[in-house]
Structure 1
């Protein structure tokens, strides 16, 4: 615990007010316990209540719904930083997953004599490059050129100007830290903060099971989270089809939405084309309590994440949610999931292949003793290692090392 409160101006990519747990819970609820307040800066566009932030203040400037938001956001963020600075003394400027605004944050920190910190939860540059390559395959020359220029500029700005000027870099996983270290970033300048869960929410005892009659008499497995073609969500249907041949009463509940109506239509048509209407229940968007109600009716949770540079360095939440709820799980072998499965001994790890996932699910469905042991181990491991209360201690310890104490 610090002797005097700290105040961090935190520029984020997500809409304000925040809804992501790694912002809302970690910085809004947990960091104030360590005397660390947060002035959130970003663009409006969130659906959360405007009064849902207890960690400091929220400074929305501009809107993500503006058609020029991607161009104007660095200027809006600069204005937001001015507002945060006028509220009172700042101890650091921190930017998350923004590249141009990262440069703005570095310059502002230098001008104010403050440490600059960068929070990297996703390889944004590599995401831009993936989009560029996708457009190239589609033959869209002008769009490809525009995205190629954006990707090249972003790579230069982030890796040559933003990260070298950061006193410290928070990353999403140990795998991301190793990946950046291979690019020349000093490992000592990085702290891995993987995703976690809110222990108060993800308690099986507090979840009311769904009474949906479509689940009755079925061997239910569940996938919690977004669906998208970029996430290879069709793989879930491959697994369901493979399981149907061996376990005719299987029902895969996909409790989540797609980022667009087109993506949701694609998923529904894919279910129909495969003749899986009796074996896949696609709920669409649900309030969290309702989604968890479906989850606790399941015998197995699925967490397939495509391999590759974009996701190998990620830290998925859904596996942790399953374990916290006491749901035995099958996850594929991206580094963070493999680590969680190995350490917790509460699930099975398999390559992202339909037959491998099918066999792992059938192993859990056919071995109630193993499934019961996994269900018992998961919640205890998550409480010890991956709640935001635990992760807050790691973040606060990093700030203790890198930020000055005004009390001297």
Structure 2
């Protein structure tokens, strides 16, 4: 099939899923093109080696996939105007570059932000090209619940403006892929036909290099023969407002009496300065702020972790969100301590993958830290083994790509997911579609 992938984010940005989907579908014999923006996430500046062009075609090859980049306003700050301009500019640029994907049989949309679906929605309306939404962040909550918007009145106004368009987009999509059961329920409540909603858990490409693979008998390579004392917790990711690392720092300050207890925060973001100030103010000497570390240098840090931290603020949207840090930790066989209520807490508790604490409550999180500290090393290793086994069984790349391929090919072929003005009402097949490979247009 001829498949177009539309995503605002793509490597070298640290957003692996759209690239995994594009490359995976190409490996399976499909003709795949990617329409994306110039890389700037998460630094908020253009990646080295790139120069935005308002005209002309900036193309590259990514394995068996042709990638076309289009200009956009670069902004990853807390400015609502800057962030919304970034989202809107990519939507406009991708819409203007529609000729690049005109011959596609189906469009796969990596829907974060949801505005990436504006072009595919228009092409569905005018050309009858079906599109599949892979919903990673639920709107309008991702906008109204973020620190971009200040004040309830403004948040309500933005939600009221977005709601009709979101409902139309869900109804128009040939299929919607949710990243968890809670999100799937909400998509149906908001207009997506239930028979067109599929749940596919995200996956992680994380893996130990051969020289750093943990001993299958248990324990880490850097653990001394007599066993490691203390407890090392690692948070690796965006240091943003939503991650609520303030609660982590406050909880760590409450357990300063635990010998050998330490928290490593690896990453950067808009909340980095505030977290630095809080660490100093609370004299949380057991918290180390490591800053950003290149991904290829992260293995020694992960290898030293007893648990990985997966925190988020207590917002309704996060109760139906499964953050990528969870998949990566489980893929590496590292148990987690999470403050994400809803689907994540239920999963971690049910499967014995770590410990769950109430969001936004440093006292409860400190209790979880003490409980983890008191666990015998054998039980920590057992949690890690369960994490690895669950990742292989339920969050594997192969299983996810199998599911996504089924959804995308079903959306492009005749059947209940066929929509659009060019569809034959009796057969569901599109009329008058041009044939040929994507390269022909």
TM-score band, normalised by shorter chain = 0.7 to 0.9
Matched, 1:239 2:247: no
Tell me how far apart the structure 2 counterparts of residues 100 and 380 of structure 1 sit (CA, whole Å): 36
Structure 1 residue 110: deviation in Å? 3.4
Counterpart residue number, 1:130: 145
Aligned CA distance change for structure 1 residues 355 and 71 (closer, same or farther; 3 Å): closer
Scaled by the length of structure 2, the TM-score of the pair is 0.76
Q: What SS does the aligned partner of 2:141 have?
A: helix
Does the 8 A contact of 1:203 with 1:324 survive in 2? no
- Structure 1: runs of 5+ lacking an equivalent: 1-5, 138-143
Separation of aligned partners in 2, 1:80 and 1:13: 13
Q: TM-score, normalised by structure 1?
A: 0.82
Which residue number corresponds to residue 407 of structure 2?
A: 398
Deviation string, structure 1 residues 301-356 (Cα, Å, up to 9, x no partner): 22122232221121112223222223232223533323432454231223233233
For 1:265 and 1:132, the matched residues in 2 are separated by 15
The alpha-carbon distance between structure 1 residues 292 and 355, as it changes in their structure 2 partners (threshold 3 A), is farther
Tell me whether 1:24 sits opposite 2:33 in the alignment. no
How has the CA–CA distance of structure 1 residues 36 and 315 changed in structure 2, closer, same or farther, with 3 Å as cutoff? farther
Structure 1 match to 2:78: none
The residue number in structure 2 matching 1:78 is 95
1:148/1:335 Cα in 2 relative to 1: closer, same or farther (>3 Å)?
A: closer
Q: What CA distance in whole angstroms lies between the structure 1 residues aligned with 2:341 and 2:48?
A: 32
For residues 52 and 271 of structure 1, do their structure 2 counterparts lie closer, same or farther at Cα, with a shift above 3 Å needed?
A: farther
Change (3 A) 1:10 1:281: same
**How many aligned residue pairs are there?**
381
- Assess if the C-alpha contact under 8 Å between 1:45 and 1:63 holds in 2: no
| SS of alignment partner, residue 13 of structure 1 | coil
Deviation per CA, 1:130-180: give whole Å up to 9, x if none: 35995226xxxxxx76x7655432222111x22211111112211101112
What is the CA–CA distance in structure 2 between the aligned matches of 1:289 and 1:152, rounded to whole Å? 43
CA distance 1:54–1:154, change in 2 (3 Å): farther
Alignment-derived partner of residue 224 in structure 1:
236
- RMSD, aligned α-carbons: 3.2
Contact (CA 8 Å) 2:336, 2:354: kept in 1 or not?
yes
Structural mapping, 1:19-58, within 5 Å: 19-28=14-23, 30-46=24-40, 47=47, 51=60, 53-58=62-67
CA contact (8 A) 1:299 1:328 kept: yes
Query: Alignment partner for residue 325 of structure 2, among 312, 315, 318?
Result: 318
Higher helix share: 1
Counterpart contact for 2:5–2:22, Cα < 8 Å: no
Distance of 1:203 and 1:379 partners within structure 2: 16
1:189 and 1:83 map into 2 onto residues whose CA distance is 27
Structure 2 regions of 5+ residues with no counterpart? Answer: 41-46, 50-58, 76-81, 215-219, 415-434, 437-441
